[in-house]
C-alpha cells in the first residue's frame, strides 16, 4: 500500500513538472550542415500592390518631370506610404492596376506586374533612355503597402510591413517577438494566395532541413502565419482542463496523498 502511494505521488509530481516536447528550434543542425539553401527569392509584384518610384537625373527640374508630387500629411492617414525626408510629407505611390500596369509620367502605361523591384527600376531606366529623355537616370523602387500577418501563439501577433526582398519565415516570426512557450513548433501554418487559390503550408521549426527546403521559407505579400497552441495551452483554455490539469491541482493532490501515507504509517505503528 505504501509503495503504491509513493508511486502515485511521484507520478503526480512528474506530471506537474513535465515540459512540452519539441520546444527547441533546429534540432537537426548537424544533419543539415552543408545543405543547399534555395536561392534568394525577391518579391514579385502583383495587381493592387503599391510602390514608390523615384527618378533622379542630373538636375532637380529634370527629375521632377518623372516623379509624382509629395502629398501633405493628413490627420489619420495610415503609414502605408513611404516616408520621405520631410517629416510632414509623403511620396505618392503607384497602385498596380488589375491589368498589371501603372501610368508613369511621360512614359504612359507600363506593365510591371510579375516583375521584381530591380526589374521595374531597370525597365523604367531603359524606357527613359530609349525615348531620349534621360540617359543616366537613377531609379529607386520601394514597397509601400506590402504586409504579412502573424497570428496565434507569438509574443506580438499583428500585421507587419515587408520592407525588403528575401524576407524569410524566420524573419517574420522574429518580427512578431518569437513563439511563446505554448506555441507548437512542429506545425506552423502559412496561408498564401497563389493565382487566386488558397494554399496552406506546414512548417517544422524543429527541423532545419525541412524548413529551408520548404516553398514557404520566403515570405510573400499577404502571407498569414499561424502558430497553433500546444496541448498544454489547449487544456488551459477550458475551465475543467485548467482546474484538473493545472500544476497547483497536482501539487494539492500530491500533498493529500502524502498526508494519507503518514496517517496510514501512524495507524500501522499503533497496531
Residues 151 and 165 in one domain: yes
The Cα 173–Cα 265 span in angstroms is: 55
Residues 37 and 168 in one domain: yes
pLDDT of residue 177: 95
Residues 249 and 264 in one domain: yes
Residue 44 DSSP code: P
pLDDT, tens only, 65-90: 888 876 554 444 443 334 444 445 56
Residues 67 and 94 in one domain: yes
Residues 171 and 37 in one domain: yes
The Cα 144–Cα 79 span in angstroms is: 9
H/E run at residue 138: strand 138-143
pLDDT of residue 26: 80
Residues 34 and 162 in one domain: yes
CATH of residue 133's domain is 3.30.1950
pLDDT of residue 108: 92
Residues 34 and 151 in one domain: yes
Residues 177 and 241 in one domain: no
pLDDT of residue 236: 72
At a CB cut-off of 8 Å and minimum separation 6, what does 168 contact?
Answer: 217, 218, 219
pLDDT of residue 44: 95
Residues 81 and 133 in one domain: yes
CATH of residue 151's domain is 3.10.560.10
Residues 151 and 35 in one domain: yes
Residues 78 and 118 in one domain: yes
Confirm if 198 and 205 have CB atoms less than 8 A apart.
no
Secondary structure (H, E, C), 21-36: CCCCCCCCHHHHCCCC
* Domains contained in the chain, number: 3
Residues 157 and 182 in one domain: yes
- Could you list the residue range(s) of the whole structural domain that residue 207 is in? 29-41+146-229
pTM: 0.71
| Residue ranges of the chain whose pLDDT lies below 50 | 5, 15-19, 73-87, 241
Amino acid at each position: 500500500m505504501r509503495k503504491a502511494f509513493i508511486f502515485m505521488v511521484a507520478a503526480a509530481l512528474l506530471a506537474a513538472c513535465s515540459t512540452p516536447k519539441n520546444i527547441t528550434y533546429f534540432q537537426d543542425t548537424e544533419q543539415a550542415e552543408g545543405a543547399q539553401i534555395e536561392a534568394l527569392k525577391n518579391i514579385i509584384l502583383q495587381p493592387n500592390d503599391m510602390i514608390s518610384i523615384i527618378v533622379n537625373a542630373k538636375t532637380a527640374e529634370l527629375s521632377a518631370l518623372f516623379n509624382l508630387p509629395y502629398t501633405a500629411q493628413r490627420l489619420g492617414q495610415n503609414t502605408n506610404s513611404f516616408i520621405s525626408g520631410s517629416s510632414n510629407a509623403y511620396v505618392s505611390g503607384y497602385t498596380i492596376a488589375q491589368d498589371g500596369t501603372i501610368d508613369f509620367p511621360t512614359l504612359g502605361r507600363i506593365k510591371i506586374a510579375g516583375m521584381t523591384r530591380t526589374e521595374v527600376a531597370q525597365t523604367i531606366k531603359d524606357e527613359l533612355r530609349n525615348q531620349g529623355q534621360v540617359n543616366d537616370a537613377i531609379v529607386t523602387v520601394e514597397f509601400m503597402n506590402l504586409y504579412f500577418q502573424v497570428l496565434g501563439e507569438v509574443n506580438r501577433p499583428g500585421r507587419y510591413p515587408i520592407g525588403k526582398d528575401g524576407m524569410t519565415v524566420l524573419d517574420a516570426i522574429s518580427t512578431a517577438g518569437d513563439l511563446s512557450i505554448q506555441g507548437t513548433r512542429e506545425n506552423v501554418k502559412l496561408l498564401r494566395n497563389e493565382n487566386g487559390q488558397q494554399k496552406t503550408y506546414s512548417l517544422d521549426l524543429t527541423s532545419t532541413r525541412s524548413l529551408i527546403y520548404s516553398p514557404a521559407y520566403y515570405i510573400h505579400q499577404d502571407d498569414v502565419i499561424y502558430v497553433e497552441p500546444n496541448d498544454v495551452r489547449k487544456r488551459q483554455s477550458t475551465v475543467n482542463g485548467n482546474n484538473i490539469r493545472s500544476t497547483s491541482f497536482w501539487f494539492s493532490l500530491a500533498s493529500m496523498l502524502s498526508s494519507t501515507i503518514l496517517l496510514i504509517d501512524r495507524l500501522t505503528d499503533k497496531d
